[in-house]
Amino acid sequence: AQTVTQSQPEMSVQEAETVTLSCTYDTSESDYYLFWYKQPPSRQMILVIRQEAYKQQNATENRFSVNFQKAAKSFSLKISDSQLGDAAMYFCAIGPGGTSYGKLTFGQGTILTVHP
Amino acid sequence: EAGVAQSPRYKIIEKRQSVAFWCNPISGHATLYWYQQILGQGPKLLIQFQNNGVVDDSQLPKDRFSAERLKGVDSTLKIQPAKLEDSAVYLCASSSRTSGMETQYFGPGTRLLVL
């Protein structure tokens, strides 16, 4: 069984500042993928960034980057130059690797507030 | 490219009534998922389809929930009879493999309130 833990129920950041959201996970699989999804109040879940577990290089997508520590089973999300539109619930998730298709296991989420 | 479509967006019913949700995945996506998201929690898988076959329904409460994807495209999720604890957002997702990695794309969800 896979589990994902997000220990920060809420976080806040000033506009233009940087914020880091924490995520730890547990899995017995050697091959898996990790994701961060954003869910604004409209409820549409949007993919923010993804990471293949076998890649040591941390993924980046514009202002979003991850710090993937495989041995520690940690997958944190860093948002640089925060914008008001970044305010949302953020979910960390783990899914099967390789050529498998399978369910995502989500954390409890972190509510991010961005102050102008 | 059109995203995952879901309807209705909102539904209010009395307990013991039945309700159905519809999902149309992104064109060409063979894999379709239904998740249940209770307020304040992350989504949890109810059922996974590959084309018109069920891959994983281990978490589906089969005494009241059913789902089908008869032609391998759109899907319907039904609850009969509904209970108060079924109040949640029901999310549909479809997936493709990009650069070798499966990525799931979510619809806007159906918010269900059972009174």
Tens of pLDDT along B53-85? 999 999 999 999 999 998 889 999 999 999 999
Rounded CA-CA distance A77/A90 in Å is 9
Q: How far apart are CA B104 and CA A95, in angstroms?
A: 10
DSSP β-ladder status, B19-24 and B31-37? unpaired
Residue A43 touches partner B, C-beta closer than 8 Å: yes
Per the CB < 8 A criterion, the answer to whether A72 and A81 are in contact is no
Residue of A nearest to B110 (CA): A43
What's the pLDDT at A44?
86
Among partner residues A43, A101, A108, which is closest to B89 by beta-carbon distance? Answer: A43
**A interface test, pick of B101, B105, B112, B113 with most A CB neighbours within 10 Å:** B101
Whole-angstrom distance, CA of residue A22 vs CA of residue A78: 9
pLDDT at A89: 96
Across the interface, which of B42, B56, B89 has its CB nearest the CB of A109? B42
Instruction: For residues A39-64, give the mean pLDDT.
Output: 90
User: Read out DSSP for A13-73?
Assistant: EETTS-EEE--EEE-S-SSEEEEEEEE-TT---EEEEEEETT--SPPEETTEEEEEETTTT
Say what the pLDDT of residue B96 is. Answer: 83
Q: Binning pLDDT at 50, 70 and 90, where does residue B27 land?
A: very high
Q: Model confidence at B1, in pLDDT bands (50, 70, 90)?
A: low
Spatial CA neighbour of A13 closest among A60, A80, A75 = A80
pLDDT above 80 for A100: no
Segment A38-60 mean pLDDT: 89
- Find the closest chain B residue to A54 by CA distance: B101
Cβ pair A64, A78 in contact under 8 A: yes
Average pLDDT of the residues in B5-20: 97
pLDDT for the residue A98: 75
Nearest CA in chain A to B34: A103
What are the phi and psi torsion angles at A86 (to 5°)? -80, -10
Three-state SS at B43: coil
| pLDDT score for A29 | 87
| Number of neighbours of residue B69 by Cβ within 10 angstroms | 21
